[in-house]
Amino acid sequence: MKNGYITCLFLVVALVFSSCKGKKEGPVAVPIEVPVVQVMQQNVALESEYSGQTYGDADVEIRTRVEGWVLSMNFKEGTMVRKGQLLYTIDPLPYQNAVDEAAAALADANGLMIKARNDLDRIEPLAAIGAISQRELVAAQASYTSSKAMVESSEAALRNAKIELGYCNVVAPVSGMIGISTVKVGDFVSIGPQFIINTVSSIDNIRVRFTISEKEYLRITRLMQTLGLKLGAKGDAVSMTLDDGTRYPLKGRINFADRQVDPSTGAMTLEAQFRNTDNLLRPGQYVKLRLVTELRDNALLIPQRAVNEMQGSFQVFTVADSNKLDIKLIKLGPRYNMSYIVEEGLSKGDRIVIGGTQMLRSGSVITPIDKQWSPDSTTISSIIN
């Protein structure tokens, strides 16, 4: 009986031992690695973006000042021309005839004036001794005065005829790039403000005109007063982005503001000027301008990628000393490059999660991977990699 009891006890122990040996240990949870950055604090200059259109430094429309047939075009369209360079030749024959007629009329007037002068020189001594009447003297003097005026009139007519003959050669009014001609050789051109045959644009400097609201104008003006600056003062502070998204390498400056706010739109026109050293810019382009419109001291900054939006509210994951996550609601201000200005909810040095927030929950414990970042950077890829 005793031996049987011992045998049963042995079997029970063996079964228990075998059962315990067959169980597997559960996996130990390992905190996931999450990139973490600190809330930065610094002074920032906020920029606003505006749409604008480019103009030449001088866009001069070319019109003819005489009418006639176009005999020649002495330039290549779309190229640079020099001030005073011959562009078009208009048939000069009618105007050369007018010059010849005016010259003949002047010669005739000079002959009459010489005769009248000689008659007066002959009559004056005779009148002095009473050999002729005073009436004849007055008539001689009047004849000479009239002939002299006729000469002056003929000289003016000749000068005018020569000027009109000169207008047959249409020259470039300024140095710059000439556009596509609206007339060709053999066309007849007329006089009038509506007859524009070409345009020459001086493009060493390019003007960009854009509009801003009245509130923005007041904010910019007050900012410039704070900095001790004036519109048109030296100092290039305007950036330009071209239509393909590339940043123009040179900065420009504000030239002037219009004299009034448009009462129908509440907007004001401003003009910026840029150097165009490589002739990349042309009149008529549409560009984006960025200029500083506000300064903020000691602004709190976080990367845009750290912010989550939930039903109109903005939140971030903060990391406590125990590496435990907590959700904080924040109030965002304007954007600054690839960052946000935080107006409420965070303090300088707070640690926040960036990237991968869809997998995280409040109260989770993580393994933080501290990353360095700069609010002035235009890319965030280097932070999360």
Give the C-alpha distances (Å, rounded to integers) separating 94 from 86, 162, 164, 211: 20, 12, 10, 50
In the numeric block, which tokens belong to residue 293?
């419109």
Does 114 have pLDDT greater than 80?
yes
Q: What secondary structure does DSSP assign to 160-203, as a single string?
A: HHHHHHHTTEEE-SSSEEE---S--TT-EE--STT-EEEEEEEE
Does 37 have pLDDT greater than 50?
yes
Residue 25 confidence (pLDDT): 53
Residue 359 confidence (pLDDT): 74
Average pLDDT, the chain: 86
Does 98 have pLDDT greater than 70?
yes
Q: Which phi and psi (to 5°) does residue 284 adopt? A: 95, -5
Does 144 have pLDDT greater than 70?
yes
Sequence-distant (6+) residues with CB within 8 A of 215 are none
Does 278 have pLDDT greater than 90?
no
In the numeric block, which tokens belong to residue 46?
């906020």
Mean pLDDT confidence for 250-264: 89
Question: Which domains does the chain possess?
Answer: 33-42+299-384 (2.40.420.20), 48-56+202-296 (2.40.30.170), 65-91+168-194 (2.40.50.100), 93-166 (1.10.287.470)
Give the separation between CA 340 and CA 342, rounded to whole angstroms: 6
pTM of the entire predicted model: 0.67
Q: Give percent of the chain above pLDDT 90.
A: 57
Q: Is the dihedral of CA 67, 71, 77, 81 positive or negative?
A: negative
Query: Over the stretch 345-361, which tens digit does the pLDDT of each residue have?
Result: 999 999 999 876 677 88
CA-closest candidate to residue 302, choices 262, 255, 352, 345: 352
CA-closest candidate to residue 161, choices 239, 113, 102: 102
If pLDDT is split at 50, 70 and 90, which confidence band does 255 have? confident
Give the separation between CA 59 and CA 283, rounded to whole angstroms: 9
Give the separation between CA 82 and CA 105, rounded to whole angstroms: 38
Give the separation between CA 300 and CA 151, rounded to whole angstroms: 85
Q: Give percent of the chain above pLDDT 70.
A: 87
Query: Over the stretch 319-344, which tens digit does the pLDDT of each residue have?
Result: 988 889 999 999 999 888 889 999 99
Does 5 have pLDDT greater than 50?
no
